[in-house]
Structure 1
């Protein structure tokens, strides 16, 4: 039985003031009207807050978005709760991580917020995403819309809804309704790239091939044991983004990614990564 709810997506500036990235999260209430100061008060009022690999925030707000509101859409509360458990810190509770099991490896806050918001896709409507957040084109270039754990994500959807989805071959992001021969649909990043580069099919093809290689590389297991450091993940991500900048050129890169190609991009918060169990970098002596 559908349990109707309105899901609200929010943003605040990310941890690094030099990085053009927002942190995102989801609530069942409009914090412009009810700015609960603590998670205890949220729970006490029978409301829901999805941490999305971050801390509790009473309100949102960024330099370009005063309220931090990224959108709202009707959804199914039971599905949202099944996909990602609310009112629990993702850093300490595995059920609050969806299938972004390893922060910075499988995805970041953008992908986890989108997993919650997938519950707003009932009745044939397109699910809300946090695509208006700063840095989203960059994170979705590497991690996709819903993260790199595509097999686990499709299984999670199947267990939480009546939909049977499959991961499209060669396009990790493309999830479609199960059928004899699934045809993966382009995700948000690919649609954005197609719209921008429609007049240059050769460059578009090279970009999408680069992206496929980026996601395949990002999905590889890291050597050793434990979570890689934020320093290592951010360096890896920066190299991949720099490669896209070299391919596209500065003007096209700015149009596609909404960021300057010379900007330092840290998609992974070092404090969150440490609390999630990363292996810290060695200390200099």
Structure 2
């Protein structure tokens, strides 16, 4: 893998890590994508259960944390209106337009809900825009054709499912903690979501390897390289093994007050694992070499 100070010819014979999306100011873009998608997923899940606090929290996370990170990432934040003029040419323009519309319709829906009013078409419009908001992040990454691990048709669907299910799990866990739901059905639903998300994590890693082919640069960097401890502890242990154990436990017991802490921890760890999995995907994204191979002693 490349060194930080790369000689001009090295990009032709060594895989070259991308840095614009994940280092320095690029971390703001990464954070913005995560918070926008997670917040939209939480809002979407809460809207199906008619849970006002969840809808409000999702709207704020998506708008304040996600939108704020996008705003700070821009070189000239106060010229952001110019980006809206090119929705047919750039995903960032489409994304800003979609996020703005989602925030608008979600706000109208929340305002009506606070005054005990209902407008089904506003809620449905907000739900559709929440789905579009999540898909935008996936399509923006997948549109980068020069990075093999990103250019995947499955990526937007993965982002949609994991964002929605993570938001759904957080919603159920908090409702269970606050006593808004009966323990038995809540535990059953949380267990099912933890199990499905674990399978989605495994699918994401398998598809990552398939997209790379024989090179396996990203997977090797995750499993054996500088991200190995984050991968082993955060993604595999925290995001997959602990939630899987909690899910199996939830299926085997009737569900009661004493088990709430287990599921709260499992849900939290899986959300963190999802964040780390996205980070690893962005951090290990690389441009292929121009030449198929390089001599072993080339750097010498």
Q: Which has the larger radius of gyration?
A: 2
Structure with the largest fraction of helix: 2
Q: TM-score, normalised by structure 1?
A: 0.28
Query: Higher relative contact order by CA 8 Å / sep ≥ 6: 1 or 2?
Result: 2
Q: TM-score, normalised by structure 2?
A: 0.27
